Each structure stands twice: as structure tokens, then as C-alpha cells.
A and B are shown apart, each in its own frame.
Chain A
């Protein structure tokens, strides 16, 4: 049966029948101990960032620059979406998409954290004018 294992040196989490003999992150030998799924989830749970709006803007610009999409050019819309994401982080813990409601199923809700994996969504995939669910990212014009 698969279990959760935690490296007691660097807190790396491994899920499997057996733990790795050598931790792939800190390279310490025989460092894994078994932990409960609750503890594993607590360690893996993303935490609030201390990112300012300007830093977040920079981060998503960098994320978009090497890709086929860009940040929406409508600044008012971006401002609205940022208001939503930062309010969601404040009130609900993470920068959830302001255009979809979280379900309270943590694994499911991680899919709503911005930037989400929108390239597989119906609003983007295969569409010339594709955009993410909320419209923060839009396909770059050719």
C-alpha cells in the first residue's frame, strides 16, 4: 500500500510503497519517515505569498513572455482581476481565479490558483482568440 514519507532533513514528501533510499532533494541517506496523509498535505499546502501586486504582475509577465500567450492589454480588466485574486488570497488563502468558485476540495481547488493550466481549457485550446477562464491571459496575435 502506498504511503506518505517525509524527509526529516528537508521535508521533501514522497508518496509510494517505499521511500527513496537517498532523498533526491537534499541527498541525505535513509532520511525518510512515514507520515500521515494529513501531515503530508499540511506540508505540501501552498501558503500565502508576500508578493506585492507589482511583483505578481512581473511574475506573470515573465511567465507569459516565452509562451504563445500574453497578459491581457485591457488594464482596467487586469486591475479588476488582481483585486479579485488578492481578495481571494486574503479571504481564502490562495490566489484563486475570481471567475470560478472554489469547491472546498483542496486538490480540486489547486487547479483554480492563478496562473491555472488554461491551455487545455475549452476557452483557450484550439481557439485563435483563446483566453484563460477569466481573460487575464490571451493568445498572442500572430
Chain B
């Protein structure tokens, strides 16, 4: 399984809404997300910015939260999505 990152922000309601989906996915599918908070942790923010050329074009030209990202495949999924969509995306990263 390739490494999966969830870029999230502490005060972002969309991230809050996605957390239960992420927890469920981790539990049911044994998938692990590295959860990186970006507004209060500059190191995480810089890491997300370093992926801007890959992430932004797939997220309306911006660095939105939450963004699910696979550094190995450069696959990106951003915003609040249903559980099934997140699951399908995560499982397709191999």
C-alpha cells in the first residue's frame, strides 16, 4: 500500500466532517493516512506547498483542505466527499 497523506486544518469544517470517514476507512480497510495539520504546523504547510504544482490543478487551482494525496502516484482527492468515494480513491492507490 502506498503512503497516503491527509492534509487538514484544525478549524476547517470539511476536514471535521471527513475525519469519521477516515477513521472508519482505517479501521475497516486497514488503510493508514498520515494526517498533517497545515494551518498550525509550518512544516506540514511547507510540505503541502511543495506539492502545489501537483495538487492545485486538481483542486480548483488552490491548496484546499482536506486534501488526500498519494506522493507515490500523485493522485489527489480534495474536499468533502462521501465515504464510498474516499474508499474507492484510497483502495485504487495500490
A-to-B contact residues, CB < 8 Å: 77, 80-81, 83-85, 87-88, 91-92, 98-101, 103-104, 112, 121-123, 133-135
* Bound-state Cα–Cα, A88 to B12, Å: 12
Let me know if A135 and B13 touch, CB within 8 A. yes
Judge if B90 is at the interface, Cβ distance under 8 Å.
no
* CB-based nearest A residue for B44: A101
CA distance A80 to B13 in the complex (A): 7
For residue B16, which residues in chain A have a CB less than 8 angstroms away from its CB?
80
Contact for A84 among B7, B12, B63, CB less than 8 A: B12
Which one of B24-32, B45-53, B68-76 contacts A?
B45-53
Would A101 and B39 be within 8 Å (CB), given that A80-B16, A121-B60, A133-B64 are in contact?
Answer: yes
Name the contact of B64 in the complex, choosing from A83, A92, A99, A135 (C-beta under 8 A).
Answer: A99
- Which are the 9 A-B pairs with shortest beta-carbon distances? A84-B11, A101-B63, A98-B11, A99-B12, A83-B11, A101-B38, A77-B13, A100-B62, A98-B12
B49 close to A101 (CB less than 8 A): yes
User: Using Cβ atoms and an 8 Å threshold, which residues of chain B touch A123?
Assistant: 60
| A99–B65 touching, CB < 8 Å | yes
23 residue pairs A–B, Cβ–Cβ below 8 Å? A80-B12, A80-B13, A80-B16, A84-B12, A87-B11, A87-B40, A91-B40, A92-B39, A98-B39, A98-B65, A99-B64, A100-B62, A100-B65, A101-B7, A101-B9, A101-B39, A101-B45, A101-B48, A101-B49, A101-B65, A104-B49, A134-B14, A135-B13
Residue in B7, B12, B60 whose beta carbon sits within 8 Å of that of A134 in the complex: B12
Chain B residues in 8 Å Cβ range of A134:
12-14
CA distance A126 to B90 in the complex (A): 30
Closest to B48 in A: A101
CB pair A98–B9 under 8 Å, yes or no, is yes
Determine the residue in chain B with the shortest Cβ distance to A133.
B64
Question: Which residues from chain A contact B7 at a C-beta distance below 8 Å?
Answer: 101
Distance between A117 CB and nearest chain B CB, rounded to angstroms: 12
Q: Does B10 contact A (CB under 8 A)?
A: yes
Instruction: Report which of A91, A92, A99 forms a contact with B9, defined as CB distance below 8 A.
Output: A99
- CA separation between A98 and B12, bound complex, in Å? 6
For the A-B complex with A84-B39, A101-B65, A134-B12 known, give 19 more contacts whose Cβ atoms are closer than 8 Å. Answer: A81-B11, A83-B11, A84-B9, A84-B11, A85-B11, A87-B10, A87-B11, A87-B39, A88-B39, A98-B11, A98-B39, A98-B65, A99-B65, A100-B65, A101-B38, A101-B45, A101-B48, A101-B63, A103-B63
